[in-house]
Amino acid sequence: MHPRTPVRRRLLALGLPAALALGFPAAAAAAQPAPSEADAWRALHDGAVVLYRHAEAPGVGDPPGFRPGDCATQRNLSERGREQARRMGEQLRRQRVAVGAVWTSQWCRTRDTATLMDVGAPRDEPAFNSFFAGHGDEAAQTAAARLKLLAWRGPGALVVVTHQVNITALTGLNPASGEGIVLRPRGDALEPAGRIEPPR
C-alpha cells in the first residue's frame, strides 16, 4: 500500500481495530480489550456521545421523488420501528442517563425515532443527514459531524440519531437499526467506548 494513503484508510485496510482509525496509538489500542456495553453506559453517565442508527424502517435508501421535508416521499419507521424507538428511550431512562441534547438528521425516520425516544427535544443537525445514493456530500458532512462531536462538553450525554452510512463513516462500524455506538471526545480523537444493543 502506498505510504501516502491516509492513515485511517490504511489502518482499516489492514484490519486493525476501529479505535486506531479514530486516533488511538497502536500500542494502547492493542493492549485494551474491546469496550463492553457496561463500559458504554458508564461513558454516557460521564457525558459521552451516543450515535444511534434510527429505529427499524424497512427497505434501503429512499423512494424516487424523495424530498427531505416531505415524510410521504421517504422510507419511514414501521410500527415495529416505532415501538423499538420507544424502547430505546426506555433503555436510557432505565440506565438513568442524563441527556444534555438530542440531535437528528433532517430525515423523518431519524426525527421520529428521537421524538418517540422522548429523552429531550430533538434538534436538526444537517451534518448528520444521510448521504446514501448521492443525497449529500460524504466527506464534507463527516468532517463537520466529527468537529461537532469533538466539541461536545455536556452537561450530560449527547444523543445523536442518524443513519448507518454516517455512523460507518465516523467509526468504521456498521450498526443495526436502533443500535448505539458510544464515543468519548478526547482532544482530536473520538474514543470508542462501547456499543448499546438495540432493544428487541
The model's pLDDT over 63-75, given as tens digits with 9 standing for 90+, comes to 788 888 899 999 9
**Going by C-beta distance under 8 Å and a sequence separation of 6 or more, which residues neighbour residue 94?**
none
Cell of 165: 452510512
Check residue 122 and give its pLDDT: 97
| Domains, the chain, with CATH or none | 1-32 (no CATH), 35-196 (3.40.50.1240)
Q: How far apart are CA 179 and CA 77, in angstroms?
A: 15
The model's pLDDT over 131-157, given as tens digits with 9 standing for 90+, comes to 987 778 999 999 999 999 999 999 999
Q: What is the pTM of this model?
A: 0.82
The model's pLDDT over 144-198, given as tens digits with 9 standing for 90+, comes to 999 999 999 999 999 999 999 999 999 999 999 999 999 999 999 999 999 999 9
The model's pLDDT over 73-94, given as tens digits with 9 standing for 90+, comes to 999 999 999 999 999 999 999 9
Return left, alpha or beta for 16; rule: phi > 0 is left, psi -120 to 50 is alpha, else beta.
beta
Question: Is there a contact between 195 and 181 (Cβ–Cβ < 8 Å)?
Answer: yes
Q: Within 10 A of 41 (CB to CB), how many other CB atoms are there?
A: 23
Which residue has better confidence, 71 or 11?
A: 71
**Going by C-beta distance under 8 Å and a sequence separation of 6 or more, which residues neighbour residue 147?**
none
